[in-house]
Amino acid sequence: MCGAKAGGPDASTIKPGETTIQGQVTKDGEPVVGYVRLLDSTGEFTAEVPTSATGQFRFYAAEGTWTLRALVPGASADRTVVAEQGGLAEVAIAV
């Protein structure tokens, strides 16, 4: 199970007890608008969200190992994250 709020995360919307993966995408040190894909441990596409104007994103996901793929104009980057049940995983992705 996973989902995301379009337009980027707001700390007040974190759901207590939910497994949350969130972060920011930057390019050359500046926030960048694009998309972030959530891929499961086998590399299968699970979800995609747009980043906010400040490059932020959030997913609510099951615990486990995930790959985040940032897609921005002219660049992409992958980051692996391990999400723990009920935890918050913060991820910075520089493309």
Residue 54 lies inside a defined structural domain of this protein: yes
Residue 13 lies inside a defined structural domain of this protein: no
Residue 2 lies inside a defined structural domain of this protein: no
Residue 49 lies inside a defined structural domain of this protein: yes
Residue 9 lies inside a defined structural domain of this protein: no
Q: What is the pLDDT of residue 36?
A: 98
Q: What is the pLDDT of residue 18?
A: 83
- The residue written with tokens 């499961």 in the block is 40
Write the Ramachandran bin of 29: left for phi over 0, alpha for psi from -120 to 50, otherwise beta.
left
Q: What is the pLDDT of residue 40?
A: 95
CATH at 40: 2.60.40.10
Residue 44 lies inside a defined structural domain of this protein: yes
pLDDT-based confidence at residue 17 (cuts at 50, 70, 90):
confident
Residue ranges making up the domain that contains 55: 19-94
The mean of the pLDDT values for the chain is: 88
What are 25-68's pLDDT values in tens digits?
Answer: 999 999 999 999 999 999 999 999 999 999 999 999 999 999 99
Residue 6 lies inside a defined structural domain of this protein: no
pLDDT-based confidence at residue 94 (cuts at 50, 70, 90):
very high
Residue 12 lies inside a defined structural domain of this protein: no
Number of domains in the chain: 1
